[in-house]
Amino acid sequence: MFSKKKTAVLIVAAGSGLRAKSATPKQYLSIGRKYVLECTLENFINVELVDYIAVVINKNHNMLYKSVSSKFSSQKLLPHCVGGTSRSESVRKGLMSIKKYEIDKVLIHDAARPFTSRKLIEECIKGLDEYDVVLPGVKVTDTLWEKSKTLSKPDFVTGLGPDRDSLVRAQTPQAFNYKYILERHKNNKDSFSDDVYLAYLDCKKINIIEGSSKNFKITTPEDIELAKDLMKNV
């Protein structure tokens, strides 16, 4: 008898968002009529292939998270988990927190990416039927230059950068076999900005699907203004 594979989404919302230069962490900013994290959660709650959603929060953000989570009554939304001092530690704690739900597939997503489409989410989930890892990527269209890393000449050009045709800008959600990425994180003591790197080290089959310029991560004050413009159409 066919049994549907259970899919969970782990939303990493434990960051303080210092680069956004906002008093409120970027995932809890109110943009238009909704919070950033509220939009992010809605994107996944509305996808039928998603069974569970768990959010990893900062230990100091309980009240902020409650202001968002109280807007939802969906049974998909699991109790939140408190993260760690690094993204890698937060992901590890989040993965551990959903172990009892017997997950087959897991998507790891940045809380501050509130414009992820249903199509992209479904492609990541379905892609795991053929690949070990699936991630969205956006082609690099600008010419790349390398600059000096010395303190005396920090902005001097030192040479032409890598061939842009061989590069992509990685986005989330990034999709994994749950048991694999859980065990990999349990045995990892280093800190990485991208969970796919662990799979790369293990020579896993990693498929890059086409991402979207709208699926950007709110990081800077300029990103906040762009998100406000996009929210006018939501």
Q: How many CB atoms lie within 10 A of CB 45?
A: 15
Backbone torsions φ then ψ of 163, nearest 5 degrees: -65, 120
Give the pLDDT of residue 162.
84
List, for residues 186-225, the tens digit of each pLDDT value. Answer: 988 888 888 999 999 999 999 999 999 999 999 998 999 9
- Report the Cα 169 to chain-centroid distance in Å: 13
- Report the Cα 114 to chain-centroid distance in Å: 10
What predicted TM-score, i.e. pTM, was given to this entire model? Answer: 0.92
Domains of the chain: 7-131+172-198+214-231 (3.90.550.10)
List, for residues 112-164, the tens digit of each pLDDT value. Answer: 999 999 999 999 999 999 999 999 999 999 988 888 877 667 777 888 888 88
List, for residues 51-66, the tens digit of each pLDDT value. Answer: 999 999 999 999 999 9
